[in-house]
Amino acid sequence: INKIAVFTSGGDAPGMNPCIRAVVRTGIYYGLKVAGIRQGYQGMIENNIVDMDNHSVSNILQLGGTILKTARCLEFKTPEGMQKAYDNLKKNKIDALVGIGGDGTFTGLERFSSKFDIPVIGVPGTIDNDLYGSDYTLGFDTATNTVIEAIDKIRDTAESHARLFFVEVMGRDAGCIALRAGIAGGAEAIMLPEKDTSIKDLIATLAAGAAKNKTSGIVIVAEGDKNGGAFNVAKRVKEVFNFYDTKVTILGHLQRGGSPSSFDRILGSRMGFAAVKALIAGEHRKTVGLRGNEIVLTDIVEALNGHEFKLEDDLMEMSTILA
């Protein structure tokens, strides 16, 4: 291979920029030309492709989001869209791809590379931490830190007014952010998509806290909790349990932004570095991941089909004991 291209796709995540930087600088170090594709698969179809050099990734380590922009692109799912993308890659003499994103992005890479002869490597970039093949995905650590900061602030007002706050955090299918932020923020209860907690049980927990003179409460509710989100949970609790003044905070998109943590900067750098080395070594249709403290490659089909229960048993157990 002579020229590789890097792109970000799907939801943005802090750590994508350090990864782009690592791909560009590693590629150039090993004598490759490197291009950046703007707005993910959309940019491939629209030929929105720019040549990158060491300088084009200066001063981006500390930036959240992605300098290459990202997009969701329906046209890439069609044969015509893929063909246009391929033609543009050829026009730009690009002969290998590094795609940073979530499972949709990996699906795109898998479909594209089963049709066209272009080596691809996927890098897991999503705050949800819900991809097979890596203990951590880019952005998860930063997002969790953002949630903890918010919980600490909410705790100040909760404590001053004897209030009970229901804080909704991201995680439609995976409760990774909710569980960790709940433990690190000392939440009274954590509602997860992976665990059915009934409103009755939640009220029992909160009532037990009130009986022990707890003067405030924070309940973390993951978006995907089966009771239907923080507003619904708060409403149903309030109907029965009125010990505290009750408030709801939806953290929303602020969880996606912000300067990447040291962990995400290092992880992005390691994954970008490894992705380029993998392409140079002739690897194809793989994803990069961190297992323990080692960078590993996983077959992209296995990464897409694999399932992992990421919520650690000890965290699940201690979440109620320590609260």
Please identify which residue in 17, 48, 88, 105 interacts with ligand ATP, judged by CB under 6 A. Answer: 105
Catalytic residue list contains 95: no
Give the start-end residues of each E strand in the chain.
3-8, 33-37, 49-52, 96-101, 120-124, 163-169, 189-191, 217-222, 245-250, 286-291, 294-299
Neighbouring residues of 277: CB distance < 8 A, sequence distance ≥ 6: 26, 30
For residue 99, the minimal CB distance to ligand ATP (Å) is: 9
Q: What are the DSSP calls for 202-259, one per residue?
A: HHHHHHHHHHTT---EEEEEETT-TT-SHHHHHHHHHHH--SSEEEEEE-GGGGG-SP
Site mask, ligand ATP, residues 62-101, x = CB under 6 A?
----------xx--xx-----------------------x
Beta-strand pair 217-222/49-52: unpaired
Token code pair at residue 148: 């903890």
Site mask, ligand ATP, residues 215-254, x = CB under 6 A?
----------------------------------------
For residue 53, the minimal CB distance to ligand ATP (Å) is: 27
For residue 138, the minimal CB distance to ligand ATP (Å) is: 10
Closest to ligand ATP by CB, 101 vs 217, is 101
Q: Which residues are annotated as a binding site for ATP?
A: 11, 72-73, 102-105
Q: Which residues are annotated as a binding site for Mg(2+)?
A: 103
For residue 269, the minimal CB distance to ligand ATP (Å) is: 20
Total residues binding ligand ATP (CB under 6 A): 17
Active site residues: 128
